[in-house]
Amino acid sequence: MEPNSLKEAWSIPEQAIVEYLQTDIEKGLAATSVELRQQQYGLNKIESKKKTSLFAILLSQFVSPFVLLLAIAAGMSFFFDEWLDGIAIIAVIVINAIIGFIMEFQAERSMEALKKLTSVPAKVIRDGVMVEIPSEDLVPGDIMFVEGGDMVTADARIIQASQLQTDESALTGESLPVEKSPTTIANNTLLAERHNMVFKGTFVAKGNCRSIVVHTGMNTELGSVARLVQGANQAATPLEKKIEVFSKKLIWITVALIILIFVAGLLNGQKFVAMLETSIALAVAAIPEGLPIVSTLALAFGMLRMAKYNVIVKKLSSVETLGGTNVICTDKTGTLTVNKIEASYIQLSDKASRIAIDVLSGTTKWIDDEQVPMDAAYDHLYRISALCNTASYQNENGLEKETGDPLEIGLLKMVYASAKRRENYAQQYLKIDEMPFSSETKLMATFHTQVNGSYYIAAKGAAEELFAHCTGVLENGQETPLTEDKKQHWVNLAEIQAQSGLRMLAFAYRNTSVKEKDFLNDLVLAGLIGFIDPPRQEVPAAISECKSAGIKVVMITGDHPATAQNIALQLGLAELGDKVIHGKDMKPYKELSENDKEQWLQAAVFARVSPEQKLDLVTLYQEKKMVVGMTGDGVNDAPALKKADIGIAMGQRGTQVAQEVADMVLKDDAFSSIVLAVKQGRVIFDNIRKFVIFLLSCNLSELLIIATASILNLHFQLLPLQILFINLVTDVLPALALGVTEPAPHIMQRQPYASDTPVIDKKRWYAIFTYSAIIAITTIGAVFASHELLHKEEKWNAELCNNILFYSLIFSQIFHVFNMSFEKGIRFHKTEVFRNKYVWYAVISCIVITLLSYWILPLRKVLEVSIYGWRDWSIVLISSLCSLLLIQWSKKLKLTI
């Protein structure tokens, strides 16, 4: 365990830490003490969950109520020596498992391709010598050295720093690089504001530092997040919950009918064994054997369709879950924004303008000006931005190459988009001296010689600090004195924009004829530039579509509240006056009052939020019966990604931790892909409802026929193998075709279904019973019609009656697929089902397979079927069409949906 006294290392003087860890700032640890510390603290690595084995993926395909029902039916078939029945049912189970296994295995392979397999080294001082070691070997007390471009591999307290800035966006959500310094700070300082610490998993954007390693492995901030991930329970998807409820209802209905018919048969004098065999037939009839296969393939189809839009779905049932999502909690940095700093605002003495940089086309859009402004101050701003800059930026045919401080890269992009080139400035103004930026001065200045022999000074920095070195200001192209009143006016302008979420820098210059050593004085203020991590271009439209679909989008970020609010306003997530909830004002979940919960539910923006608070937010939404989607790319998003109903990680910027716990990964990091996924999820839920209604009404019609024949002691009955054949023919192909039906035009304009909306509600159960009753009546009616119209002079022929019953039922169920359109006010031939070419393929295929059962002699013998003339076939066809017409008539009269 890590010593408790170092839990708040940022608030402890560095000398006290050195003494506690028994280390030396100059010489580091002795090699002899390292092994003992490794035994005490363990290796410096994050424990990750075990990879899902192939056997576990395969086994999960059999964990389903429907599979259990099918297995029971197969067992009963084998018990009564009905081997063909049993084998056929087992075949259904195996086919379903193979399809599900293949799809989820492919998703696992896609995820493996995203993982980074490189080992990260660390530089430490041991026995007075700097050495490079595997990061896993770091121990508390090591003196670690990091510089620009390095990944920080342990939590460490800074003891020496030179112009140090770190990128902590993956851990805290802070989009801008964070300036670091060794000074001690208060013990209640938030994670994002601990400027004297560097954290495992973050990157050094600029500068270098020496630091004392204080926490390693699972005791780091990254380890704390990993522990939250391991402790967060993965919620069952809404589809899994709905299928479970639906399955239980189906089981009870089946059991009740079997008992009723079994008892009725015994009371009618039927033999016990005969009634047991009838019960098997009932069980086979009641279970929609095709439902597992059709459900799996429908979800797999959606999974493959999403793959075309660069969305990797790791679990089949997650596809449908998105369709029911009514809250999307999204990180800001890298998800809603591009995670790159750009200039977005220019302030001169007499005017200001928002700007939009387009480096691809090399243009700048002046949002508040009708034309490109021509002003000497603009020329100086571009010149200073190019000259007073140590970063590098190149754009060759749209291929960007950039190194250095993100903010300085943003300045170079601004210059590039103005059609000016840094190389031209560098040729005209040769740099001969530089005053580098430091966290103490918060300024940078460069000294240049011009071709005419004079000199030019370029300076930039924090507004108030640079103003202190200015004596003039550029107004309307003229240099005028910078009075105290004017200086305060500029300070106010900078503060106003900073409060809106912009990071403001001031720019100044001076021309001189003398070469100077101390040149940071008597500068002329040219203006201010504001920077922001801009929103992704496609996000506002995606959020607008989410709103029209009844989906609430909530921004949850570790960034500054003003920055979060500014981005939210630009994206249309929030309106002026909406409250931004700060992490420091958020109580632990168990301490929340009802008023606190209501404020959280109403808010659209949360800032400076910790991983624990993100987890609490997801928990609250789920408590309110909301289906929660969580998007993110950082380590700080991982616990909430796992807890959410559907976790969506970014594939390009996303950390490995986030990708591992998410249910799906966006390979292109495009937030707009989520909208496509939501639409696909809704389509799948609608189609699942279609084919479940189809399958249940078909199977219930079989139940009603068997029950009627048994209770009324009729001389004809369906055989178990015939029932299984009917189910395999009519359940799979038509239902599969329904599973790929195109969406209704208004599918993204309706409110999402509530999370507790069942697959089959009362209205749809009523429709199922109505449909099945009509099919059963017309089918049994076909038997009596055949006898009365064609064979009245003959004795009842049990085999012929069985065959009429068998084929009438098959064709009635095949034609029944055209009843599965529930759009109101649309003519029969214009419904989405009638226009679905796959439905027609399925209908034709089913008819051919049915006729083959008659034409192929071995199959005819197994099914015990034969019809003696075309007139009996006419009765079969007419009765089948009658069931279709009667159901359509009931829908037109609004007796059913």
Q: What is the DSSP letter of 535?
A: B
Residue 721: per-residue pLDDT: 76
| Of 772 and 102, the one with more pLDDT | 772
Residue 701 has phi, psi (to 5 degrees) of -65, -35
Residue 529 burial (C-beta neighbours within 10 Å; 0-12, 13-18, 19+)? buried
pLDDT at 372: 53
pLDDT category at 113 given cuts 50, 70, 90 is very low
Give the whole-angstrom CA distance, residue 748 versus residue 751.
Answer: 8
96-125 b/e (C-beta count within 10 Å ≥ 16 → b)? bbebbbebbebbeebbeebeeeeeeebbbb
Structure confidence at residue 806 (pLDDT): 93
The mean pLDDT value of the chain amounts to 83
Of 216, 286, 303, nearest to 663 by C-alpha is: 303
Residues 6+ apart with CB under 8 A from 70: 89, 92, 93, 287, 289, 292
Among the listed ranges 61-70, 102-111, 210-219, 345-354, which one has the minimum average pLDDT value? 102-111
pLDDT tens figures, 478-536: 899 999 999 999 999 998 888 877 889 999 999 999 999 889 999 999 999 999 888 88
Q: What is the DSSP string of 192-244?
A: GG-TTEE-TT-EEEEEEEEEEEEE-GGGSHHHHHHHHHHHSPPPPPHHHHHHH
What is the rounded CA–CA span in Å between residue 42 and residue 773?
Answer: 69
CB atoms within 10 A of CB 615: 23
What is the model's pLDDT at position 874? 92
Helix (H) or strand (E) holding 444: strand 443-450
Packing angle, helices 672-711 and 762-790, rounded to 10 = 40
State the average pLDDT over residues 731-753. Answer: 83
Is the C-alpha dihedral spanning 372, 373, 374, 379 positive or negative?
negative
Q: Which of 72-76, 100-104, 146-150, 366-370 has the highest mean pLDDT?
A: 146-150
* Average pLDDT over every residue of 829-852: 92
Lowest mean pLDDT among 388-392, 471-475, 857-861: 857-861
Token pair for 557: 């970020």
| Residue 320 or residue 2, greater confidence | 320
Q: Which residues of 697-721 are buried (b: 16+ CB within 10 A; e: fewer)?
A: bbbbbbbbbbbbbbeeebebbbbbb
How many Cβ atoms sit within 10 Å of the Cβ of residue 825? 4
- Phi/psi region, residue 385 (left: phi>0; alpha: psi -120 to 50; beta: rest), is alpha
Q: What confidence score (pLDDT) does residue 250 get? A: 74
Q: Which residues contact 387 (CB under 8 A, 6 or more apart)?
A: 425, 426, 429, 431, 446, 448, 456, 458
Cβ pair 742, 836 in contact under 8 A: yes
Sequence letter at residue 577: G
d(CA 553, CA 541): 13
Mind giving me the DSSP string for 636-672? GGHHHHHHSSEEEEESSS--HHHHHH-SEEETT--TH
Alpha-carbon gap, residue 419 to 286, rounded angstroms: 73
Predicted pLDDT of residue 285: 62
The two most distant CA atoms of the chain are separated, in Å, by: 127
CA distances to 210, 545, 690, 701 from 754, rounded to whole Å, are 54, 19, 18, 30
C-alpha–C-alpha distance, residues 520 and 458, integer Å? 9
Burial of 647-674, coded b for 16+ CB within 10 Å and e otherwise, reads: bbbbbebbbbbbbbbbbbbbbebbbbbb
Rounded to 10 deg, the angle between the 672-711 and 539-548 helix axes is 30
Q: Is the pLDDT of residue 303 over 60?
A: yes
Comparing 18-22, 42-46, 74-78, 760-764, the range with the smallest average pLDDT is: 74-78
How many residues can be counted in the chain? Answer: 897
- Please, which pLDDT band fits residue 226 given cuts at 50, 70 and 90? confident
pLDDT digits (tens, 9 = 90+) for 158-215: 999 888 888 887 777 776 788 899 998 998 888 888 999 999 988 887 788 999 999 9
pLDDT digits over 843-873, tens only?
A: 999 999 999 888 888 888 888 888 768 898 9
Contact indicator for 316, 103 with CB cutoff of 8 Å: yes
Q: Does pLDDT of 670 surpass 50? A: yes
Residue type, 486: K
Taking a C-beta distance cutoff of 8 angstroms, is the pair 809, 779 a contact? Answer: yes
Q: Is the pLDDT of residue 217 over 80?
A: yes
**pLDDT digit string, tens, across residues 565-607:** 888 988 999 888 888 999 889 999 889 999 999 999 999 999 8
Q: Residue 821 pLDDT more than 50? A: yes
Which are the catalytic amino acids? 331
Q: Which of 678, 833, 646, 644 lies closest to 751, judged by CA?
A: 678
Give whichever of 227-231, 238-242, 415-419, 451-455 has the largest mean pLDDT: 451-455
* Joined tokens for residue 365: 């859009």
How far, in Å, CA of 808 to CA of 819, rounded?
17
pLDDT for the residue 221: 87
CA 472 vs CA 486, 520, 789: distances in Å? 10, 13, 110
Read out DSSP for 787-836? HHHHSTTSPP-HHHHHHHHHHHHHHHHHHHGGG----TT--GGGSTTTT-
d(CA 605, CA 594): 19
The pLDDT value given to residue 2 = 46
pLDDT at 345 over 60: yes
* Closest listed residue to residue 288, CA positions, set 320, 326, 250, 261: 250
The interaxial angle of helices 611-623 and 594-602, nearest 10 deg, is: 100
- Please tell me the predicted confidence (pLDDT) of residue 28: 92
Residues 73 and 272: their CA atoms lie apart, in Å, by: 18
231 or 337: whose pLDDT is higher? 337
Instruction: Enter the DSSP assignment of 608.
Output: S
Sheet containing 580-582: give its strands across.
311-313, 664-666, 646-650, 628-632, 327-330, 552-556, 605-607, 580-582
CA distance 38 to 138: 8
Q: Other C-beta atoms within 10 Å of 248: how many?
A: 11
Q: pLDDT at residue 656 above 80?
A: no
Reading the block at residue 399, the tokens are 């291929």
